[in-house]
Amino acid sequence: MTTLTVFAILICAAQQRWHWMAALVAALVGELTYRYFKLNQFNGPFLAAITEWWHTPILMGLQADKHYVKLSKQYGDLVRIGPSHLLTSSPDFWIHANNTKTAYARSPWFYRAMRFNPGEDTVFSQCDIAKHDARRKQMAPGFSGKENLGLEVDIDGHVQELLQLIQSKYMSTAEISKPMDLAMKVQYLALDIISDIGLGQSFGDLKAEADNHDYIASGAIGLRITFMKIALGLTSFFDNYYVASLLGPSEKDKTGFGKVKGVARRIIDDRLEKPTDGKSDMVASFVRNGLTASDLFNESFNQILAGTDTTSCSIRVIMLYLMTNPSIYAKVRAEIDTAWPASEPGIIPDSIARNLIYLQAVVREAMRMHPPVSDLFTREVPNGGDTFTFPSGKEVYFPGGTRISYSIAMHTDPEHYGADAHVFRPERWLTQNTPREKLARMQKINDLIFGYGKFHCLGQRIAFIEINKTIVELVRRFDISLVDPLQPWKSACYGGIYVQGDMWVQVRERGS
């Protein structure tokens, strides 16, 4: 309402309606005063207590992750970042707010901005708990592998395409350098995999070595628009059916989310013309479990967005830490050689990769240091409020309707990970180095990267199959190094989702 009130005041001033303007100013002052005192018990920047616009420059600066981590370190495990908005770096509270029996719901402030069509939700944007749980139940079998029997074979095929592309075009030698943008190639891989298993038809980006449907460029535009809505407090305005119909993304658009929606629509329509009986892919599973054609389109389009940026970010981060830590690179390779020698022609099976202890320690540690998502994935305190007792014994009351976001600062907190929490050290995850009770606590906190309880990421299993196979095959086959260690990539944070590019590497034959 604050944004609308300010606009109304400006209109009255322009029309010299001073009495109306005075009344609106008084109403605005009253509203801001009420907002300020609502969460006055929590510390944070002064401006954050009176206006949501405090978020605007932070989100628009595309470095919100760093800013919110700094706030958590400055103010503690609860920081006020808006009139009705808190940021928490307490894993215990976040687990409480997300458990399977929680009354906390997703906050429309953030998740309504993730709708692709006004009034139509996906399992990701749904804020009604009962509807979310019902949709999640329909979709879970398709992600579990029980109704998607060709999942691993499909992933293997695309990882093999990545390896063939590298071997055919990007092998550097002592005499010739052939730099490769690893960020882009990994994005192609993730897009091909998720479009194959999520839509039933691969985009074919790796084979073409091109963004065939302009998803990467269009997706970046779409993300900018989405987070502009959040930053300017205009989510509700743009979610209106008539406004969205006029100004929102259209499947006829030539750029942005609209173009990607059009591509997904054509693929889904083509897929639905074919019988699903006897098939064992994700689309067939969704249909068998009751998703309508409209639901299927929305959810499949959502999978393209949710399943590419996060997974490709994870692969980039892990490779970055390996390339900048040669001894760890060598140790991972030695472990792989024992379990899956270089002489093996195929892609490593998931059953072997997930049991490589040191590799899994590296994966955990890299994702701890740089989670694939951050910040504004927000919950809302149920009506009537809630009281939570923190491990310190402090009891805190949260008024109903308060928004609470997740801070990735918990993943580099010395209280949980030791005095060297800011250091990349995979050995912290090995049982011989860390007591079992402490290790279990660390793992539980680390797993919050993928959500918790009823909001746990459905695609985590698929993501880890893709991540493990890709890392193993790159490390066991090639020597990979950064072209410019001082500028390893370009990275921007769109309110919690990372967009990365220009990750230039040199790839050489192993041992050369």
Q: Could you give the 3-state DSSP secondary structure of residue 306?
A: helix
Nearest CA among 500, 495, 496 for reference residue 56: 495
What does the alpha-carbon distance between residue 80 and residue 39 come to, in Å, rounded to a whole number? 8
Residue entry with tokens 């894993």? 91
User: What is the C-alpha to C-alpha distance for residues 230 and 252, in angstroms, rounded to an integer?
Assistant: 24
Question: Apex CA 499: angle with CA 490 and CA 169, to 5°?
Answer: 70
Amino acid letter for position 334: A
Q: How far apart are CA 303 and CA 307, in angstroms?
A: 5
Q: Which residue has the tokens 């075009």?
A: 169
Give CA–CA dist 72/60, Å, rounded: 20
| Residues 6 or more apart in contact with residue 119 via CB below 8 angstroms | 239, 241
Assess contact for 391 and 374: CB atoms under 8 A.
no
Among residues 127, 87, 374, the alpha carbon closest in space to that of 235 is found at: 127
Rounded distance, CA 219 to CA 373, Å? 16
Alpha helices by DSSP H, listed for 170-281, are: 182-199, 205-208, 215-231, 235-239, 241-247, 256-272
Identify the residue whose tokens are 């892609």.
347
- With tokens 């591509």, the residue in question is 263
**Alpha helix segments (H runs only) across 48-150:** 55-60, 64-75, 91-98, 108-111, 129-144
CB-CB contact of 120 with 440 (8 Å): no
| Contact by Cβ (8 Å): 260, 147 | no
Quick check: 446 and 361 in contact, CB under 8 A?
Answer: no
Is 313 part of any known ligand binding site?
no
Rounded distance between C-alpha atoms, residue 459 and residue 467, angstroms = 12
CB-based burial, 287-310: b 16+ in 10 Å, e otherwise: beeebeeebbbbbbbbbbbbbbbb
Q: Please state the residue numbers annotated as binding site.
A: 457
Q: Please state the residue numbers annotated as binding site for heme.
A: 457
